[in-house]
Amino acid sequence: LFQVKFPSHFSNELKDLLKNLLQVDLTKRFGNLKNGVADIKNHKWFGSTDWIAIYQRKITPASFSKCEPGRLFEALYPRVEGPADTRHFVEEVEAPFLPKCRGPGDASNFDDYEEEPLRISGTEKCSKEFAEF
């Protein structure tokens, strides 16, 4: 698996929250556990957040109030010059080894490997049920 690198100015609490949100294992991912969104809202990073006041629109979340609306929109929706504009994507990584192929159906790359004989088991669990297939 890959290691996520966070900017140095991210607090340990924020890093922990993001790691739990980016968790590959669904049985451990925040928002997918038995407490649902409560695991996210009750995380240390949101410790001083007044969720009710935000819901009632009495306050604006701090991360958005510091950001100009135009810059926030640009961050969420980067400008694209056309269908071929891929500058916002990570460069495509090619396979480390691409075997040569002489044409369609060429299997010569497998010549160095022994072919195992095909074995059909007569003791399959469901052989009676599928005997007429």
Q: How far apart are CA 22 and CA 115, in angstroms?
A: 42
Res 9: pLDDT: 82
Summarize pLDDT for 16-67 with one digit per residue, the tens: 999 999 988 899 999 999 999 999 999 999 888 888 888 888 876 655 555 5
Res 89: pLDDT: 75
Tokens of 43: 């995380």
The CA-to-CA distance between both ends of the chain, in Å, stands at: 43
Res 110: pLDDT: 86
Q: Which residues have a Cβ under 8 Å from the Cβ of 46 and sit 6 or more positions away?
A: 17, 40
